[in-house]
Amino acid sequence: MGITNSNKELNTSHIDCGDSFKVKLSLTAEPDIVNNPTDIILILDRSRSMSGSPLANLKNGAKKFIDIIDEATDSAKDGHIGFGSRIGIVSFADTATQDTQLITSVADLKTAVDALSANGLTNHADAFTKAFQLFDPSSANAKVMIMFTDGRTTVGDNATPVAAAAKAQGVTIYCIGLSGNGGIDEQALNDWASTPSSAYVVITPSDEELENIFSDLAKNISKPGAKDIVIKDVISSCFKIISLSTPTKGTASLLNETSLQWKIDELGAHNSEGASLEFTVEHIGPCSGTIEVNESISYDDKDHNVVTFPSPEIEIDCGDVQLDSLGRIIELDVTLKNICPNLRVALAVIITEIDSYGMEHKRGVKTMTIPAHTKQNCSDVIVRCIKFVLPEDLDVSGSPHSICNKRKFKARFIANYIDNDFKCCSTFL
């Protein structure tokens, strides 16, 4: 079956400036479906939240999956799944329905998919139960469930023990989640899926991606287990790799502080197999905000599997100032009349805001020293660009708060000379 899933995930979504976090790479591989006949059950969510484009795209994805398995098993898209493999359809909402048994007719499978309509709540436990009941315990075929859902369990029992019982009987479980409706339980999908969950779970926020996800999974299921795998991961220059753990399969080495190489001789050649590698990354700045961890990541193997990894992002907080309120700036110019030469002036500016009842509200005071001019005669002195920042949450105009509201302010000025010719008398007693 080749590489059936690939993932790259972070142990956190947010760090402070200079902190570290963990990155985990995961792969799953399966044996060749031609030489290893497989019974596959598609478990499809048809609850109310799937109405519209999610259900339409799910149907397209499921039918694409069926077509690819059809062609892979006997090298022809002839409407018949060959070499002993079979597919079954289970759909669920309030309860689950065995829409087909494990069969080889592509037409019957597609008819069952096309007949799905969205309504009701979400019962994952019954879905796993009805799916497991389709397997023949006496069959030597590999057993695979592919659970698709867009929501949390809203009716029925806890599905985790049911999924665990199926896995204990040798069933491999993949989980596909659609998070666009905001109700997906990622932890539940991780609990239901085979281990490592990072290699058996894929979540997308867009139902438009469902056809591609099902297509990629089917293509990889139909290929042989991968050999001579080489993965090169290069992280962003905003980070450096500070430690590298021993992978669960193969060997890994640092190439430099921002890149590593992971090699696996063979994965999934004889049975379903997952592998993972974890490493620790440190933020080295000056980047802040939302940053992509990947610079690039490449995959290669002897069997030419096409593998892509997600590009996770992390939020980095470097103490940037956040605006708590909108505001506006008042800029004032004032002319001080007939100022004598060589005398400094102390100037105070007082700003108040006038509400709709004519009441004044204090908004700010500034004091400053105006340098003396050196002209021969008394002259006017212009003081420019006296600024006040006034938050919008202080608006007393009586209108709904908006940066475009008209607000009424009053400015008062107080000015006095600082320098004069008065001197204290020197007195000796």
Domain boundary among 268, 287, 317: 317
User: Is residue 305 domain-shared with residue 334, that is, in the same domain?
Assistant: no
Residue with tokens 């921002």: 258
Measured CA to CA, the distance from residue 62 to residue 210 in angstroms comes to 9
pLDDT of residue 223: 65
Question: Is residue 290 included in any domain, yes or no?
Answer: yes
Residue with tokens 């997906």: 184
CB 182 within 8 A of CB 29: no
User: Is residue 55 domain-shared with residue 144, that is, in the same domain?
Assistant: yes
Give the three-class secondary structure for 60: helix
pLDDT of residue 402: 58
Question: Is residue 102 included in any domain, yes or no?
Answer: yes
User: Is residue 198 domain-shared with residue 268, that is, in the same domain?
Assistant: yes
CB 55 within 8 A of CB 46: yes
User: Is residue 389 domain-shared with residue 282, that is, in the same domain?
Assistant: no
User: Is residue 381 domain-shared with residue 310, that is, in the same domain?
Assistant: no
User: Is residue 408 domain-shared with residue 351, that is, in the same domain?
Assistant: yes
Cα-based distances in Å from 2 to 22, 93, 197, 222, 234: 27, 32, 18, 7, 24
pLDDT of residue 429: 47
- Provide block-wise average pLDDT over 10 residues at a time, the chain (429 residues): 84 93 92 82 96 96 94 82 94 98 97 97 97 96 95 95 97 92 86 90 93 87 80 95 95 96 86 89 88 94 86 86 68 92 92 90 92 91 91 76 76 88 52
Question: Is residue 67 included in any domain, yes or no?
Answer: yes
pLDDT of residue 226: 85
Question: Is residue 424 included in any domain, yes or no?
Answer: no
Domain with 208 in it: 2-317
For CA atoms 105, 107, 110, 111, the dihedral sign is negative
Which has the closest alpha carbon to 172: 203, 200, 144, 135?
A: 144
Question: Is residue 423 included in any domain, yes or no?
Answer: no
Task: Could you list the beta-strand ranges (E) of 324-407.
Answer: 327-339, 345-354, 360-370, 379-391
Which helix (DSSP H) or strand (DSSP E) does residue 297 occupy?
strand 294-300
Question: Is residue 25 included in any domain, yes or no?
Answer: yes
User: Is residue 271 domain-shared with residue 411, that is, in the same domain?
Assistant: no
Residue with tokens 């004598």: 340
Question: Is residue 403 included in any domain, yes or no?
Answer: yes
Alpha carbon 172 to its chain's center: 26
Domain count, the chain: 2
Domain boundary among 297, 317, 337: 317
User: Is residue 359 domain-shared with residue 301, that is, in the same domain?
Assistant: no
Question: Is residue 412 included in any domain, yes or no?
Answer: yes
CATH number at residue 192: 3.40.50.410
CB 22 within 8 A of CB 241: no
Domain boundary among 293, 317, 341: 317
For CA atoms 81, 86, 92, 98, the dihedral sign is positive
User: Is residue 366 domain-shared with residue 246, that is, in the same domain?
Assistant: no
